[in-house]
A and B are shown apart, each in its own frame.
Chain A
Amino acid sequence: MAALVGLAAAPARALDAAIERGRALLTAGDVGGALGVVAEVEARSDLPAGDLLALLALRATAEAMSEDALALARSARAIIELAPAWQAPEGAPEAFRAALDEARIAQPEPPELDVDVYPTDGALRIVIECDDDVDLVRGTRLLWRSGGERAWHRSEASEERVAGLAGTAVEYYVEALGPGGVVVAREGSARAPVRVSIPGSESDATGGLGTMTPTSDDGKTVWLIAGAVTIAAVIGVIALVAAGRSSDRTDLGVPVVEWP
């Protein structure tokens, strides 16, 4: 059993203590206890990024031992999505290996963020979507600042409205958070944020810089907003199809400068 829960080659540094505890429980045959630890770690927001694969491998091994084929397939796809060449260690359950092989055939795409910025009247509307085949992403995080601010504002909503004086420069980046709060996809970064500017309007001329829509920390509220956005998107698509029109969005790609 000890070899069975080897899970992955030992990293150069110590694994997260909770994952080690989960492994110990699995070694002792306590599959339920190990899955409980996995759930506990997944709910955290401070898991070192280097431990994510170890966490998923622990989860997959426990699922293989509990013969939960559906959950195992999902975990295997998540592992292959993050690390296509990842190999199960010697002694891993055969079901785990088979699930990894099937996941490789399926070739799941890594999570991908789709961030659209719409200029509205005196503001920018930032809309975040995430394409995630294997239910790896737990949520997204938008960080932005405007008008030369040093500190970043933070939002976990799928949409934000950033208002301010016309022409105010806005910098932002978006992260998709996986189990344990590990960033599994990003657009922009703190060092290289995306830069846009706030369009102008008369009504915003007297407003303060960076007047933002309040951000909710309540996960339920976030999902309710996501649900509302989803329904709006569905209605929009239905209306679009019914009207037989193409999208009103334009993909400008990369501008081409023809130097002399």
Chain B
Amino acid sequence: MSVRVLRVVLAFFAMCAVSCSAPTDAAWRIRFGGDGGVVGETAVRVRLRVLVDSCESTAVVYDADISRTESVPAFGEIGEGTFAFEATARDTECRIVARGCVVRALPPVGGDIVTVLDAVSPAVPACAASACVEGRCTATRGDAGAP
């Protein structure tokens, strides 16, 4: 089978896939709840992670660290499975002041995925004070040089 024929076949079925099996849309919302709402006033950055299977997992498929003014990177599509949606909020001194994690099976049955951030008391340092700049743990940043 030639490459061109393969592409035509793929295009045909890709069209079918769009109409017959479009990905399920779901929104992930992160909100400060209860005492977290109060503590949230001091939060300057939030780290969002999606973990495989559980909140204790070390397998991370999404990791974003944003301030109040930065836009959140798009997650995109994810396959079937069980995932933990974790959020941790830090203050200007890189102390974790609120945390939340919720486990959901995907595709979701319905409704948004909501992670509620609850206060962490006492606040836990996310990194050494020397590595903290405006709530960001700079020592964990990787190099992104050109190839």
Contacts and interface: CB of A to CB of B under 8 A. Distances in A.
A199 B145 CA distance: 25
Contacts of A116: 76-77, 79
A231 B12 CA distance: 12
B81 A247 contact: no
B23 A251 contact: yes
B22 A253 contact: no
A96 B100 CA distance: 60
Interface string A189-204: 0111101111110000
A237 B21 contact: yes
B123 interface: no
B145 A190 contact: yes
Contacts of A238: 13
Interface in A184-240: 190-193, 195-200, 223, 226-227, 230-231, 233-234, 237-238, 240
Interface stretch (A41-49, A50-58, A143-151): A143-151
Contacts of B68: 259
A248 B17 CA distance: 12
A119 interface: yes
Interface string A1-13: 0000000000000
Contacts of A83: none
Given A240-B21, A258-B31, A200 B1 contact: no
Contacts of B63: 169, 195-197
A42 to B, nearest CB: 16
Contacts of A200: 52, 57-59
Interface in B119-135: none
Interface in B43-58: 43, 46, 48, 52, 57-58
Main secondary structure of the interface of B (DSSP, over half): mixed
Given A167-B58, A253-B74, A254-B72, A237 B30 contact: no
Given A195-B63, A199-B52, A260 B79 contact: no
Contacts of A154: 147
Contacts of A195: 63, 142
Contacts of B6: 226-227, 230-231
Given A237-B21, A250-B106, A255-B48, 11 more contacts: A166-B58, A199-B59, A200-B52, A233-B10, A234-B10, A237-B17, A240-B20, A246-B24, A252-B28, A255-B29, A255-B72
Report, nearest first, the 10 A-B pairs whose CB atoms are least far apart: A199-B59, A197-B60, A247-B21, A248-B80, A252-B75, A260-B40, A152-B147, A249-B23, A167-B58, A258-B31
Interface of A: 116-119, 124, 131, 143, 148, 150-152, 154, 166-167, 169, 171, 190-193, 195-200, 223, 226-227, 230-231, 233-234, 237-238, 240-241, 245-260
29 contacts: A148-B142, A148-B143, A154-B147, A190-B145, A190-B146, A193-B144, A196-B60, A196-B63, A199-B59, A227-B1, A230-B9, A240-B17, A246-B24, A248-B107, A249-B77, A249-B80, A249-B107, A250-B26, A251-B26, A251-B76, A252-B78, A253-B26, A253-B27, A254-B73, A254-B75, A255-B48, A255-B64, A255-B75, A258-B30
